Amino acid sequence: MPKSSAFTNHPIFTSIEHEIIILYAVWDMIGEMVNFDMFEKLASLENTNLMFSTSTHTRLFNVLLVDFLSSPQKDRSRGSLPFGLPPTPKSGRLSDNTYLYYLRNICKDPRFGRDTRQLLSAVESFCDWLDTECLVEKVWLAEIPVSANVRASRLSLLKICGNIGKHNFSRLEANVGEIMRILANSGVPIDEQQAFLALPSFYEWFHRNFFVYHSSTIAEFLNNLRWAIFRYLEPEFLRSYTKPEPQDIRYSFKYPDDCRQPLARSMYWDLMNNVREEPYFPAFTVTHSLKRQY
């Protein structure tokens, strides 16, 4: 009996095509965030820290991170996710409402390489870190004025900061509601108008301090995911990669049997091209001094 899968067959897209779409989306998002345009060249690969190229890149990284820490957007007219992807759970871990949920499902029922231990470890490590509730002491929201010891999950704070960096205040009602909930849980209830007024100070504290402090660690998690996907797909690349003659510069890939749709085939081709060589951004570890706070 075949194993059950969260990626059930769709009238158009098959289970293996769903996996291709998710892996392609994640690889693409990580590539936009962790690269040598966003960050300066690494001084070392061990116990290091990453430096953003400019303050604009700092803000852009946080904005792009919000997309990764969200789930695919539903089509408003049909009320369903694109490509027939399954919805993320309505309850459970906060990180289940991110692309990490889909990567975890791939690890449970892989369609390509059978060894998912490295990928699952990278997924679970990032999920555990994101879901952890942290304490940021003596946050001063000058516009209200209010001082608070803020307790919240890292994921919530990162998403709020990214959204503030992306949107005008008039599009931040949901985030304002989240700020009110966080402050109420931290023992400092405020009303909606106060929350809107406090947006500049909140951003100052949690983007310029909290996010920047953790940015190297976040990049490490993301880069580990990329390397784990690379290792996971290596056996499939070896199966798929073909040349007419060994010395020929031309090459092609043998598509999996259930990969039929043109869009999925294009994404599969790009994924296999990504696996032709190791990721250009090397694996690295971040200094422990950037992992002790918050």
pLDDT tens, 61-114?
A: 999 999 999 999 877 666 788 888 989 998 789 999 999 999 999 999 999 988
Q: Helix, strand, or coil here: 46? A: coil
Output the pLDDT for position 77.
67
Instruction: Render pLDDT for 163-187 as a digit per residue (tens, 0 to 9).
Output: 999 999 999 999 999 999 999 999 9
Rounded to a whole number of angstroms, the distance between the first and last alpha carbons of the chain is: 47
Instruction: Render pLDDT for 186-223 as a digit per residue (tens, 0 to 9).
Output: 999 999 999 999 999 999 999 999 999 999 999 999 99
Is the model's pLDDT at 24 over the cut of 60? yes
Contact yes or no for 190/198 (Cβ under 8 A)? yes
Contact yes or no for 141/198 (Cβ under 8 A)? yes
Which of 42-46, 141-145, 244-248 has the least mean pLDDT? 244-248
Lookup: tokens for 68: 């990764």
Is the model's pLDDT at 131 over the cut of 70? yes
Output the pLDDT for position 247.
84
Q: Which residue has the tokens 């690494």?
A: 42
Query: CA angle at residue 24 from 20 to 26, to 5 degrees?
Result: 120
C-alpha to C-alpha distance for 124 and 200, rounded to whole angstroms: 33
Average pLDDT value for the chain: 93
Signed CA dihedral, 107, 110, 114, 119: sign only: negative
Output the pLDDT for position 10.
54
Lookup: tokens for 51: 């430096």
* Number of other CB atoms surrounding residue 14 within 10 Å: 21
Count of all residues that appear for the chain in the document: 294
**Domain ranges in the chain?**
15-131+214-290, 134-206
Is the model's pLDDT at 8 over the cut of 70? no
Output the pLDDT for position 1.
29
Output the pLDDT for position 2.
35
Residue 9: C-alpha distances to residues 76, 83, 107, 149, 208 (Å): 22, 10, 17, 48, 44
C-alpha to C-alpha distance for 232 and 15, rounded to whole angstroms: 17
What is the average pLDDT across 112-136?
96
Q: Which residue has the tokens 């990626």?
A: 7
Contact yes or no for 253/272 (Cβ under 8 A)? yes
Is the model's pLDDT at 123 over the cut of 60? yes
Give the contacts of 109 (CB within 8 A, at least 6 positions apart).
3, 4, 5, 6, 7
Q: Helix, strand, or coil here: 286? A: strand
